[in-house]
Copies of this chain bind each other. A is one copy, B any other.
Amino acid sequence: MAVDGHEQRALQYEQTLMYGRYTQELGVYAREEAARLREDGRQRRSISERSPSLKLLEYEKGRCVKCRICAVHCQRFLMSRVGEDWIFLILLGLVMALVSFVMDFCIALLLQAQKWMYGGLDSNVVLQYLAWVTYPVVLISFSAGFTHIVAPQAAGSGIPEMKTILRGVVLKEYLTLKTFVAKVVGLTCALGSGLPLGKEGPFVHIASLCAALLCKFMSFFGGIYENESRNIEMLAAACAVGVGCCFAAPIGGVLFSIEVTSTFFAVRNYWRGFFAATFSAFIFRVLAVWNRDEETITALFKTRFRLDFPFDLQELPAFAVIGIASGFGGALFVYLNRLIVQFMRKQKTINKFLMKKRLLYPALVTLLISTLSFPPGFGQFMAGQLTQKETLVSFFDNRTWAKQGISEDFTFDTHLMAWKHPQANVFIILVIFIIMKFWMSALATTLPVPCGAFMPVFVIGAAFGRLVGESMAAWFPEGINTDGTIYPIVPGGYAVVGAAALSGAVTHTVSTAVIVFELTGQISHILPIMIAVILANAVAQSLQPSIYDSIIRIKKLPYLPELGWGHHEKYNIRVEDIMVRDVRYITLNSTYRDLQDILMIGNLKTVALVESADSMILLGSIERAQLQALLVQQVSRVRRQEVMRERAETERKRMSVASSPSSDDSSQKVNQEVRFQISTEESTFIPARPISPKPLKPALKRTSVAEKNIEIPTSPHDSGMGLKNLLCARPQTDVMESNNVELRQSKRVRISLLDDPDVEDDMTLGEIEEWEEQQLDEQVNFNSCKIDPAPFQLVERTSLHKTHTIFSLLGLDHAYVTSIGRLIGVVSLRELRKAIEGSMTVKGVKVRPPLASFRDSGTSGTSSESEATELHKLWDRHSSLSLPRDQQNHNTDNKTH
C-alpha cells in the first residue's frame, strides 16, 4: 500500500518536470524521430533500389524473386502501417482479451479446486475447516510475497496511480515488465483465494502495463512510439480497455475510465478507447464461445427481466431510497477503508512487528475472513459457499425469494439454495451478508496484494438492492399497478439498481450505470438506475472523496482536489489571495554566490530567471539541477587546474625559461589525463566552459556530447514513459546533490574526495579556498544552461476556478504570477490544494487574508489603477513624466462608497 522511499523521492523530483519542459523534450524527440524516419526511408529506398539488381541476379529463381519482391513490398507496407494507431489498439485489445480470458480461467480453476477440496472432505468438519482456511491463506500469502519480492508497485488497485500518471507525473517502475508479471500472478492468486476482492482496478493497471510494454515493443518498428503525448493518449485508451475487457463492457469501460482517471478529457481520444475496448470485449466474449462456455456472445451476468413492464412508476421512491442509502453506505465504505489503513499505520508496535513479518498481516486477515465464511459455521448465515460470481447471479435472479416473509420453496438451484436457511429468514441472511461483507471488503482491500474494491462493493450493493426488492415484494405481493394486468415486483431489478448505486457512490462515477447495463444485457431499468446512481453520487460526493482519491491521499501522491458539486465560492477567490509573494529568483547579473545562496535556502524545484532585480521582468525558469551543475562546474577541480595551468603558462612566459622536451612531455600527459577527465565529467555534468583545444566550435561540440550523454541513462527499459526523466535522470542528480551537500558542509572534504591521487594539485588548500571565493564572485554564465523559456504565467486576478482549470488541463506543477512582464508571485500545486480544501470547510473561504474581502468592494477602477501603477514603474525608466504616487492611498478612500 505504501509508496516506498525511493519512489516517493523520485516522484517529488519528477513533479518539477511538468510544464514547459515538454517543449524541449518534444523538440528533441521530434528531431530524433524525424531522423529515424528518414533513416528508415533511406533504408527502404536502398531496398527498392537494390531490388532490381536482386531481380537480375536471381533471375533463374523466377517465382521466388516475385515472392521476395512481394515480401519486401508487404514489409514496407507493414512498416508504414505499424505506426498507425489502430494497429496498436487492436494489438492491445487482443492481448488484454487473452490475458483476461486466461486469468479468468485460472481463477475459476483455483476456486474450483477449493470447492473440490471442501467437498471431498465432508466427512470431517475439522479437516474441512482446515482445507477451507489454509487454501486462501496460502494463496494470499503467496500473492503478497510474490508481489513484494518482484514488484511492490503492483500491490493495490492501480487506478490511483494511473490517475496520477495521466496527470503527467512519472511514477517510476509502475509500467515495467516486472510489475506486469507481479500484477498478473498476484491478482490471479488473490482472486483465486475467494476473498472479497475485485479485478477492475488491477485490470486498468494491467492494461496500462500492456500498453506501455507494447509501445516499447512497437518502437522497434517506428519512432512514433517514443512520443510522450502519444503515449499518454495510448494509456488513456488502455485504461478503457482494462475496464472494458474485465466486464465485457466497452462503453461502460470507456466512460468509467474517463471518470476515474481524467480531469479533462480530450474527445479526440474517445474513439481510441471505444475502438480498443470494443475489440477487446469482442475477443473476450468470442473466446468464451470458442471455449463452448456460451452459445453466442451475450452479457456476463445476463438477466431476463420482462421487457413490456419492467417497473412501475410507483416503485421509483424505493429506487430513490436505494440511491440515497447507497450514497451513505459508499461514503462509509471509503471512510472505513481509510480508517483501517490509518489505524494500522499508527499502531507502532503492531506496525514494527508486521514490518518484520510482512506476510503475517495478509495471512491473519485471510484467516479471519475465511473462518467467518466457513459454510458449516457462520458462513451458513451469509451464503459463504458461493463465489462472487454465483452470488451475483443469484441476486439478479427474476424470481422472488420470499413472499409474506416466509421463504419460498426454491427449485433445486444450488445457488439459490444457499440463501435458504431452516432457522433464518431470507431477510436476516441478507442483512448479515451485507454487514459482514461490508467490513470484510473494506478490510480485504487494504491487503498488500493486487486487488480492487469495485467488485466487492458491487456485490454488497446488489445484496442491499435485493433486500429492498424482497421487502417490496413481501409488502406488495400482488404488485403495485392497480388497473388491469398484475405485474409482480421483480427483486432482481432492485439488485441491479443497488449494485450500480453503491459502486457509483464508492467510486464517484455515474458510468457504473452503463457498466450494469452491459453486464446484465438489459437496459430496461435505465431510469431507476440513473436516478439511484445520481442520488448516490450526490450524497457520497458531499461526504467523502472517492475510494481512488482517498488512496491517492493515503499514498501521498500529488493530486489536485476536484471542484465538486457547486463550489461557487471559488469564483470569488483570486490568485493574488493564494500566491506566494516571496519568490526566489536569479537575475542575469547574479553571481555564483547568489546561486549558492538560493540553492542552500530550500529545496525549490525551479528558480525564476528575471532580467534584473529592479525590472523583475520574467525571462524564464531554470531547474535546480541545472543551477547546481553550473555552480559545481564553476568551482570544479578541472577548471581550477585549467586556471592554474594558464597561470603557470603566463608565469613561464614571463620567466622566459627554456623548456626541456621531457617536461613538455609530462605536461602533455597531464593534459591528456585532464582531457580524459573532462569527458567523464561531461557525461555526468553539463559543463559551462569550453575546455577542448579547438576554440572555434567548442560549445556546439560539447553540448551535443553532453546531450548524448544525458540520453544514455534512459535505457530501452523505461524509455516509454520515462521521457520526463530524460534531462535530469536520477543518478546525475544524486551526484550533483551529494556534491552540493559536500560543498555546503566542507569544501575540503569535497576536494579530498574528488582528488585523484595520480594528478598532482599545485594549489594549497588555502589557495583553493581563496580561488573558490573568487570564482563565486563572478557573474553567472547561463550559456550552457537549459532555460525553460516560457514558464506558465497567470495574472493576479485570475480566479481560483480558472486556475484550477488551467492547472488540471495542462498538468502544471507551478505557475508564475506576472503583471505586465514583472514577476510578482508564484502559485504551486500546494497553494492551490490548500486553497481548495481550505474553502471546503464549513467556515467558507478560509484562505483569504482578512482584508481580501474588504478589497473586493473597491470598484473595478482599482484594478486598472494598480495595473497602471505597475506599468508606471516600468515606464518611469523610459520617460520622465511624473504621476501621483499616492494613488494606492486613495484607493482606500474609494472603498467606502
Partner of A523, one of B523, B781, B879: B523
Q: Indicate if the CB atoms of A571 and B230 lie closer than 8 Å.
A: yes
Q: Indicate if the CB atoms of A790 and B793 lie closer than 8 Å.
A: yes
Which residues does chain B contribute within 8 Å of A286, judged by CB atoms? 313
Interface membership of A700, Cβ < 8 A = yes
Interface membership of A864, Cβ < 8 A = yes
Q: Indicate if the CB atoms of B565 and A703 lie closer than 8 Å.
A: no
Q: Indicate if the CB atoms of A23 and B795 lie closer than 8 Å.
A: yes
Which residues does chain B contribute within 8 Å of A517, judged by CB atoms? 517, 523
Which residues does chain B contribute within 8 Å of A274, judged by CB atoms? 510, 530, 534
Interface membership of A757, Cβ < 8 A = no
Min distance, Cβ A211 to any Cβ of chain B, angstroms: 15
Which residues does chain B contribute within 8 Å of A617, judged by CB atoms? 611, 617, 619, 821
Q: Indicate if the CB atoms of A802 and B23 lie closer than 8 Å.
A: yes
Interface membership of A734, Cβ < 8 A = no
Instruction: List, sorted by A's number, 5 A–B pairs whose CB atoms are closer than 8 Å.
Output: A35-B857, A274-B534, A298-B524, A696-B890, A700-B891
Which residue of chain B has its CB nearest to the CB of A254? Answer: B510
Interface membership of A828, Cβ < 8 A = no
Instruction: Given A618-B821, A802-B229, decide whether A30 and B251 contact each other with a Cβ distance below 8 A.
Output: no
Instruction: List CB contacts (< 8 Å) of A56-114 with chain B.
Output: 83-86
Min distance, Cβ A6 to any Cβ of chain B, angstroms: 29
Q: Indicate if the CB atoms of A309 and B282 lie closer than 8 Å.
A: no
Interface membership of A421, Cβ < 8 A = no
CA distance A707 to B271 in the complex (A): 47
Chain A interface: which size bin?
A: 35 or more
Partner of A302, one of B307, B611, B875: B307
Which of A130-138, A260-268, A329-337 has 4 or more CB atoms under 8 Å from chain B? A260-268
Instruction: Given A310-B298, A571-B224, A871-B782, decide whether A510 and B797 contact each other with a Cβ distance below 8 A.
Output: no
Instruction: Given A699-B883, A810-B809, A860-B31, decide whether A258 and B251 contact each other with a Cβ distance below 8 A.
Output: no
CA distance A517 to B620 in the complex (A): 53
Which residues does chain B contribute within 8 Å of A307, judged by CB atoms? 302, 304, 521-522
Number of copies: 2
Beyond A31-B863, A271-B534, 9 additional contacts (C-beta under 8 Å) are A27-B799, A38-B856, A230-B571, A274-B534, A285-B527, A588-B879, A705-B861, A784-B864, A789-B795
Q: Indicate if the CB atoms of A568 and B821 lie closer than 8 Å.
A: no
Interface membership of A664, Cβ < 8 A = no
Interface membership of A671, Cβ < 8 A = no
Q: Indicate if the CB atoms of B588 and A875 lie closer than 8 Å.
A: yes
CA distance A622 to B620 in the complex (A): 22
Min distance, Cβ A228 to any Cβ of chain B, angstroms: 10
Q: Indicate if the CB atoms of A26 and B798 lie closer than 8 Å.
A: yes
Interface membership of A531, Cβ < 8 A = yes
Interface membership of A242, Cβ < 8 A = no
Min distance, Cβ A632 to any Cβ of chain B, angstroms: 18
Contact flags (1/0) for A761-794 with B, using CB distance below 8 Å? 0000000000000000001011110110110011
Which residues does chain B contribute within 8 Å of A779, judged by CB atoms? 878-879, 881
Partner of A821, one of B619, B801, B874: B619
Min distance, Cβ A197 to any Cβ of chain B, angstroms: 27
Which of A145-153, A289-297, A399-407 has 4 or more CB atoms under 8 Å from chain B? A289-297
Which residue of chain B has its CB nearest to the CB of A573? Answer: B30
Q: Indicate if the CB atoms of A23 and B707 lie closer than 8 Å.
A: no
CA distance A864 to B865 in the complex (A): 40
Q: Indicate if the CB atoms of A707 and B860 lie closer than 8 Å.
A: yes
Question: Which of A224, A534, A871 has the largest number of chain B CB atoms within 10 A?
Answer: A871
Interface membership of A55, Cβ < 8 A = no
Which residues does chain B contribute within 8 Å of A518, judged by CB atoms? 523, 526
Interface membership of A259, Cβ < 8 A = yes
Which residues does chain B contribute within 8 Å of A875, judged by CB atoms? 588, 782-783
Which residues does chain B contribute within 8 Å of A618, judged by CB atoms? 821
Interface membership of A837, Cβ < 8 A = no
Which residues does chain B contribute within 8 Å of A523, judged by CB atoms? 299, 517-518, 521-523
Which residue of chain B has its CB nearest to the CB of A575? Answer: B23
CA distance A783 to B867 in the complex (A): 8
Instruction: Given A84-B566, A565-B271, A857-B35, decide whether A794 and B799 contact each other with a Cβ distance below 8 A.
Output: no
Question: Which of A259, A700, A782 has the largest number of chain B CB atoms within 10 A?
Answer: A700
Interface membership of A414, Cβ < 8 A = no
Min distance, Cβ A101 to any Cβ of chain B, angstroms: 16
Partner of A699, one of B285, B797, B878, B884: B884
Min distance, Cβ A5 to any Cβ of chain B, angstroms: 32
Partner of A282, one of B32, B38, B302, B531: B531
Contact flags (1/0) for A1-34 with B, using CB distance below 8 Å? 0000000000000000000101110111011111
Interface membership of A806, Cβ < 8 A = yes
Min distance, Cβ A166 to any Cβ of chain B, angstroms: 11
Q: Indicate if the CB atoms of A856 and B700 lie closer than 8 Å.
A: no
Interface membership of A270, Cβ < 8 A = yes
Which residues does chain B contribute within 8 Å of A818, judged by CB atoms? 789-790
Q: Indicate if the CB atoms of A789 and B820 lie closer than 8 Å.
A: yes
Interface membership of A564, Cβ < 8 A = yes
Which residues does chain B contribute within 8 Å of A34, judged by CB atoms? 572, 853, 856-857
Interface membership of A805, Cβ < 8 A = yes
CA distance A510 to B875 in the complex (A): 56
Which residues does chain B contribute within 8 Å of A27, judged by CB atoms? 574, 797-799, 860, 863
CA distance A310 to B251 in the complex (A): 19
Interface membership of A538, Cβ < 8 A = yes
CA distance A534 to B703 in the complex (A): 48
Interface membership of A887, Cβ < 8 A = yes
Which residues does chain B contribute within 8 Å of A309, judged by CB atoms? 295-296
Which residues does chain B contribute within 8 Å of A819, judged by CB atoms? 789-790
CA distance A887 to B667 in the complex (A): 31
Instruction: Given A522-B523, A527-B285, A884-B697, decide whether A28 and B863 contact each other with a Cβ distance below 8 A.
Output: yes
Interface membership of A396, Cβ < 8 A = no
Q: Indicate if the CB atoms of B805 and A266 lie closer than 8 Å.
A: yes
Instruction: Given A229-B801, A274-B530, A697-B887, decide whether A251 and B514 contact each other with a Cβ distance below 8 A.
Output: yes
Interface membership of A712, Cβ < 8 A = no
Interface membership of A513, Cβ < 8 A = yes
Min distance, Cβ A678 to any Cβ of chain B, angstroms: 17
Which residues does chain B contribute within 8 Å of A267, judged by CB atoms? 258-259, 262-265
Q: Indicate if the CB atoms of B871 and A783 lie closer than 8 Å.
A: yes
Partner of A865, one of B26, B700, B787, B795: B700
Instruction: List CB contacts (< 8 Å) of A674-713 with chain B.
Output: 695-700, 703-708, 711
Which residues does chain B contribute within 8 Å of A783, judged by CB atoms? 868, 871-872, 875, 883
Q: Indicate if the CB atoms of A700 and B85 lie closer than 8 Å.
A: no
Contact flags (1/0) for A558-580 with B, using CB distance below 8 Å? 00001111101001101000000
Which residues does chain B contribute within 8 Å of A481, judged by CB atoms? 295-296
Interface membership of A311, Cβ < 8 A = yes
Interface membership of A859, Cβ < 8 A = yes
Min distance, Cβ A351 to any Cβ of chain B, angstroms: 37
Which residues does chain B contribute within 8 Å of A565, judged by CB atoms? 85-86, 271
Interface membership of A312, Cβ < 8 A = yes
Min distance, Cβ A359 to any Cβ of chain B, angstroms: 39
Q: Indicate if the CB atoms of A703 and B821 lie closer than 8 Å.
A: no
Instruction: List CB contacts (< 8 Å) of A511-556 with chain B.
Output: 513-514, 517-518, 521-524, 526-527, 530-531, 534, 537-538
Instruction: Given A510-B274, A588-B875, A588-B878, decide whether A789 and B867 contact each other with a Cβ distance below 8 A.
Output: yes
Partner of A568, one of B24, B224, B859: B224
CA distance A37 to B856 in the complex (A): 11
